[in-house]
């Protein structure tokens, strides 16, 4: 029976490793811009000040997105595993910022970037946000992010 479990773990690891997963923010953005399978891009322009949009993203990073989630073992995954969500907001210029959501599984054993955003001041009181994300897992976070940048409340998709 131990041999069967080892074989199952090996196959699962190979499947995860064979999936093309972005390992950097730039790679995720490139995948989404190229329209690769399992990636999407959404763009939204809001009549909100650039600084307020950044404040809202930063607040959601701290209160919602920066967390670990432990999943119990079960069918398909006989062992418990933990996902660490690591959001980062970086100002790249006075009128630009980049955001990224990195995912680490089991303390970095497997991981990559699941989401990214370019945030740009289009004009005073007007901000453009372009989201790039893996469509299978991150659509709910993308939908919440679009509400957050409008200044609206939305439940944390990770709850």
Which CATH number does the domain housing residue 144 bear? 3.30.310
CA distance 159 to 156: 6
- 3-class secondary-structure state, position 10: helix
Asked if residue 69 belongs to a domain, the reply is: yes
Beta carbons of 126 and 142 less than 8 angstroms apart: no
Instruction: Look at residue 42 and give its three-state secondary structure.
Output: strand
Instruction: Give the H or E element holding residue 3.
Output: helix 2-18
Query: In the Cβ-directed half-sphere of 30, how many Cα atoms lie within 13 Å?
Result: 8
Q: How many domains does the chain have?
A: 1
- Whether 77 is in a domain gets the answer yes
Give the DSSP letter string of 70-139: EE--BTTB-S-EEEEEEEEEEEEETTEEEEEEEEEETTTTEEEEEEEEEEEEEETTEEEEEEEE-HHHHH
Closest CA to 117 of 151, 138, 104: 138
99 closest CA partner among 88, 85, 113: 88
Q: Which domain holds residue 47?
A: 21-149
In a domain, 156, yes or no: no
Indicate whether 3 belongs to any domain.
Answer: no
Q: With respect to residue 4, please indicate whether it lies within any of the assigned structural domains.
A: no
pLDDT tens for the chain, 159 residues long, are 444 444 334 334 434 444 567 889 999 999 999 988 788 999 999 999 999 999 999 999 999 999 999 988 777 777 888 899 999 999 999 999 999 999 998 867 667 999 999 999 999 999 999 999 987 789 999 999 999 999 999 999 999
In a domain, 65, yes or no: yes
pTM exceeds 0.85 for this model: no
């Amino acid at each position: 029976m131990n041999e069967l479990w080892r074989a199952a773990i090996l196959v699962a690891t190979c499947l995860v490793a064979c999936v093309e997963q972005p390992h950097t923010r730039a790679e995720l953005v490139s995948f989404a811009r190229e329209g690769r399978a399992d990636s999407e891009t959404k763009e939204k322009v809001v009549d909100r000040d650039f600084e307020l949009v950044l404040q809202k993203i930063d607040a959601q990073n701290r209160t919602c997105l920066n967390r670990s989630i432990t999943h119990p073992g079960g069918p398909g995954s006989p062992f418990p595993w933990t996902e660490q969500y690591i959001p980062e907001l970086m100002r790249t210029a006075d009128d630009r910022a980049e955001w990224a959501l990195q995912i680490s599984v089991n303390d970095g054993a497997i991981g990559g970037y699941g989401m990214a955003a370019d945030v740009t001041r289009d004009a005073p009181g007007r901000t453009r946000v372009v989201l790039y994300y893996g469509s299978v897992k991150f659509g709910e976070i993308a939908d919440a992010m679009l509400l957050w940048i409008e200044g609206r409340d939305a439940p944390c998709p990770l709850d």
